[in-house]
Structure 1
Amino acid sequence: MRLLFCLCLCLAATGLHAQASVRTADPAVRGVPLSAFPRFVKLSERVYGYEEIRQPGFTTVSLIVIGRNGVLVADGQGSVQATQTMLDRIKTISPLPVKWYVVGSDHGDHTAGNSVLPEDMQFVVHANSLAQLKKDSAAAVAANRPAVIVPPVAMRSDDEIIDLGGISVRVRFLGRAHTGGDLMVEVPSENLLFMSEAYLNRVFPAMRSAYGAEWVRTINQALALKHVDRFIPGHGFIENANVSREELVAFRDAVIAVIAEVTRLKAAGLTVDQAIAQANWGPYAKWFLAEQQSPIAIRRLWTELDGASK
């Protein structure tokens, strides 16, 4: 009986381990109910990830850093309601005001709720993203849609340090990737790097406005940072340190594979529509949003290979 009991325990532990090791951006496959979101993921005593679900059912991630002088948020959420919920929940972990906001990605799924940010917010944005937000704002006004919040000025360099009081962050532009103005937030004391949409954990590479070859180089720059041992994605689940590096490498390899497949199809003399129909993504066909994102990636990389997306 005792042997049987021990065997059951071992099998149960193995099952739990197998479930915990599922590498996917799909909450259902990972075994996380949608009712668990939004949620904080504690990264250290003063640093949190914030995972919220967006349609069609995967996470959008924000970074929260708490200093003595206030709170820094990197990336918002995709609607006014979702961003307000995040601000309200931040109050449950710190009474201090949100004073700094880093635009890691200028895309609407990270900025559309920014109208509820405090009026005296100090923005940190790359010049490329600032230019894009100005275009988006003009388009919104012309279409009689809600205004896009445009920060007053861009950051002066590609590497800026913000002292929050007792903890500092380093805002870094390591190169163009998903948007062209991709900013990352390093917290040196915690050995972590929030990569925004430059890192999509187990999500098929989204390339609507991406720079494929440069994206690979940007990820390599992040992997080469000596004191970083935990990488936080802009979409997909936040992983433990050792897994996060493995998954970032896996994502880089996915970007490389997508570029290689599109290059192969173009060299074969196919039209872009034929390439969309014939593309073979191998294991990446099972990644989240592959069916939706792959045609977009092909069209974008097609123009890049033609030299039209510089």
Structure 2
Amino acid sequence: MSHSPLVHVLGPATRAYEQPTGGWFLNNAGWVVGGERTLLVDTLATEARTAALLEAVHADTGRPGHKILAAITHWHGDHAHGANQVVAAGGRIVTTAHTAQMIEAGPHLFEQVFAYDGWGDVTPPKINTMVSEPAHVSLGEVSVDILPVSWVAHTGGDLVVHVPSDGVLFTGDLVFVGVVPLVMAGTAAGWVQALDWLGTLEHQHLVPGHGPIQGADSTAIAELREYLSWLLDVTAVDSPDFAALDVQARERWGTWSEGERHAVNLLKTHADQHGTQIDVVALATAMVKQAGGPIKLDI
């Protein structure tokens, strides 16, 4: 399978790096070029793919030695595994405290779920720059806003990057397009709240964590909100028929890839709504069962 990325010019300063829709660990990234430094939004899942991303940044800026500040939207490995390459090249990482803590505890390869040996060197770096409040960052001639989410949404430490001058919003995994989202590390209720908040940030271009780049007329946020609201509705009862609901989800959102995630989302949302705990092993087991065994990655 070909996983060649596309580079989209979204404004004078902003680029989006779009990977193919569908398939685990194939996330989008991007960068914003200023006169003094470049802001990178997320890295990629493997050493090789992150190296290609950084080469694309350097080719675009024409300044291989240009200092990079990388904003990591959350701790999942597809977005964070390349952080060590940024640091090794003299750049810095900025993220939330929770994300920094989780990255440093990695790398998160989830070997009980995924069959893959092509990660390369994804050793996490030490992260010293963290944000807990909105941060306005000047790159020289262009500024960006790094906006942390102060509640649990997709994870416990999400952030987004807003480039007002180019009308671009990088959402990380707060938005999936054409891909079943994953609630495992967050909550559906908090995620709905985050989507409502995203709607208040003006933009002409939306770069989701996974899926095609969206324009101002996109319905992606509304469609994702509908799915998460459905999760909350159907798991509000004490004892839902999880198997039947999984079938219903696969039929209703049949065009979305990674359907094995429905089972996890239903179990996790039910536990959250009823104040019970469900561990990662149980969730992973449910997903592997739906996938028919360990998921073979092709990245």
- Which TM-score tier does this pair reach, normalised by the shorter chain? 0.7 to 0.9
Residue 54 (structure 1) shift = 7.9
* 1:191 aligned residue: 167
> TM-score, normalised on structure 2?
0.79
Higher mean C-alpha deviation, range 50-59 or range 155-164: 50-59
Aligned to 2:220: 247
Hey, what does 1:17 align to over in structure 2?
none
SS of residue paired to 2:27 = strand
Aligned-pair CA distance for 1:35: 4.9
Indicate if the aligned counterparts of 1:169 and 1:188 stay in contact, CA closer than 8 A.
yes
Do 1:59 and 1:237's aligned partners in 2 also have CA atoms closer than 8 Å?
Answer: no
Identity value in percent: 21
Match of 1:48 in 2: 15
Q: What TM-score, normalized to structure 1?
A: 0.76
Q: How many Å apart are 1:219 and its aligned residue?
A: 0.8
| Range with bigger deviation, 69-78 or 94-103 | 94-103
- Structure 2 counterpart of 1:234: 209
Q: Which of 131, 138, 148 in structure 1 is aligned with 2:123?
A: 148
Structure 1 residues 150 and 176, CA gap change in structure 2 (3 angstroms): farther
Structure-1 separation of matches of 2:267 and 2:41: 30
- Tell me the CA shift for residue 251 of structure 1: 1.3
Aligned-partner Cα distance in 2 for 1:181–1:163 = 23
Structure 1 stretch displaced more, 115-124 or 161-170: 115-124
Once the two structures are superposed, the pairs formed by residues 84-103 of structure 1 within 5 Å of their partners are: 84-96=51-63, 97-103=66-72
Whichever residue aligns with residue 168 of structure 2, its letter is: L
Q: 2:80 aligns with which of 91, 97, 111?
A: 111
1:62-77 aligned within 5 A: 62-77=29-44
Question: Which of 247, 257, 260 in structure 2 is aligned with 1:288?
Answer: 257
Report deviation, 1:138: 9.9
Query: C-alpha offsets along residues 217-248 of structure 1, whole Å, 9 cap, x if unaligned?
Result: 011011022x33432201011022222xx212
With over 3 angstroms needed to count, the CA separation of the structure-2 counterparts of 1:36 and 1:150, relative to structure 1, is closer
Once the two structures are TM-superposed, the CA of residue 197 in structure 1 deviates from its matched residue by 0.5
Inter-CA distance 135–58: structure 2 relative to 1 (3 Å threshold): closer
Structure with greater helix percent: 1
Give the deviation of 1:63 after TM superposition: 1.7
TM-fit CA distance, 1:56: 2.5
Aligned partner of 2:81: which letter? Answer: A
SS of 1:234's partner is strand
- The Cα offsets for residues 155-178 of structure 1, whole Å up to 9 and x where unpaired, read as 243201111111011000134321
Counterparts of 1:36 and 1:298, CA distance in 2: 30
Q: For residue 294 of structure 2, what is the aligned residue in structure 1?
A: none
Question: 1:306 corresponds to which residue?
Answer: 274
Q: Distance in 1 between matches of 2:97 and 2:229?
A: 27
Which deviations, in whole Å up to 9, do the C-alpha atoms of 1:177-233 show, x marking residues without a partner? 2121111000011122110001111211211212110100011011022x3343220
Contact 2:176 2:210 in 1 (8 A): yes
CA contact (8 A) 1:40 1:49 kept: yes
Structure number with greater CO (CA < 8 Å, separation at least 6) is: 2
Amino acid of the residue matched to residue 299 of structure 1? L
CA separation of 1:148/1:38 partners in 2, compared to 1, >3 Å: closer, same or farther?
A: same
RMSD: 2.6
Kindly state the Cα deviation for residue 111 of structure 1 after the two structures are TM-superposed. 1.5
**Matched AA of 1:167:** V
- Mapped pair 1:124 → 2:94: yes
Counterpart check, 1:261 vs 2:234: yes
CA drift at 1:133: 1.8
Change (3 A) 1:248 1:103: same
Kept in 1: contact 2:29–2:43 (CA 8 A): yes
State which structure, 1 or 2, has the greater radius of gyration over its C-alpha atoms.
1
Structure 2: any 5+ residue segments left out of the alignment? 111-119, 279-299
